[in-house]
Amino acid sequence: MAKNRFIKTSRTSTNKLGICIMTLWCVFTVFTLVWIVSASLSTTSEIFDNKILSSGLHFENYVLVLEKYNILKYFFNSLLYTASSCFAVIFLAAPASYAIATYEFRGRRLVQTAYASAMGIPSVMLMVPVYMMVGRMGLSKNLLVLVVIYTFTMVPFTMFFLISFFSTIPKDIQESALVEGCTHSRAFWKVIFPLAQPGIVTVTIFNFIGTWNEYTWALIFANSSDRRTLALGLQAIVDGMRYSGNWAALFAAVVLVFLPTLIMFIFLSEKIMGGVTAGAVKG
């Protein structure tokens, strides 16, 4: 009886500690975001004098970033690279993940282990051989190169996530579709794929955030004014601010960079949690 009481007390204390830590983290995060947004609507002198928003809202910081620093061009470049690679990785990884999760074939465990192990390979190890290979093929200035690199570097994590999710879908659903006359491919795309929407949306959001904020691959293959991504554009703005000292415009650029992922997470947070918990049931 005393032992059970001690365990219950210990769990209660742990829960309270966890709640306190999460509360502090949420307060810190919200305060940081609010301060950055407020700084982006202030002047540089107000930021250093700790008098943010004392002279009103200065939307000209955003106008300056959009017009002078060409941030809108970088925004659409990042959107193109990110959307294309996220679509391509789902098109490639979803059928493969379902086949590994559903069908028994020789080498199935080996393939699954290989994809899971690939997540442990640092991208830095791949940069030199990939750069040499792309250079020999004469594709270093091709826009599709960065999309292909993003796609295949996201495949291991996507398959690892979707294999666990597809394993929770009953096989009877596919068998019923096959009995109705569907081929295996048609049964997957018309029946199984729509049922996997929570997992697909969740892994796509993770891939979107990672690709949207990616810097190193873009620095190697998209480091020109017409192909630059938002991450590279923000770095260019930071370098420019060293001489102009317009820190308010810098914070405006930061807001424009993280705003898409923040909006996506706010509107799709329920689907993210649903996809994560559903994939954790089995596998």
- Quick one: which of 29, 50, 23 has its CA closest to 39? 50
Residue 280: per-residue pLDDT:
47
Share of the chain above pLDDT 70, in %: 89
Spatial CB neighbours of 124, under 8 Å, sequence gap ≥ 6: 216
Domain boundaries, the chain: 2-40, 60-279
pLDDT higher than threshold 90 for residue 238 = no
The model's pTM:
0.78
Buried b (16+ CB within 10 A) or exposed e, 53-88: eeeeebeebbebbbeebbbebbbebbeebbebbbeb
Which of 43-52, 85-94, 140-149, 199-208 has the highest mean predicted lDDT (pLDDT)? 85-94
Q: Alpha-carbon distance 79 to 256, whole Å?
A: 13
Residue 86: per-residue pLDDT:
92
- Lowest mean pLDDT across 60-74, 147-161, 233-247: 233-247
Residue 5: per-residue pLDDT:
55
Residue 6: per-residue pLDDT:
47
Residue 281: per-residue pLDDT:
46
pLDDT higher than threshold 80 for residue 83 = yes
Q: Alpha-carbon distance 258 to 255, whole Å?
A: 6
Superfamily of domain covering 60-279? MetI-like (1.10.3720.10)
CB 164 within 8 A of CB 283: yes
Residue 90: per-residue pLDDT:
93
pLDDT higher than threshold 80 for residue 76 = yes
Q: Alpha-carbon distance 35 to 190, whole Å?
A: 47
Mean pLDDT confidence for 92-112: 85
Mean pLDDT confidence for 7-30: 77
Q: Alpha-carbon distance 15 to 48, whole Å?
A: 40
DSSP 75-133: HHHHHHHHHHHHHHHHHHHHHHHHHHHH---TTHHHHHHHHHHHTTS-HHHHHHHHHHH
CB 89 within 8 A of CB 155: yes
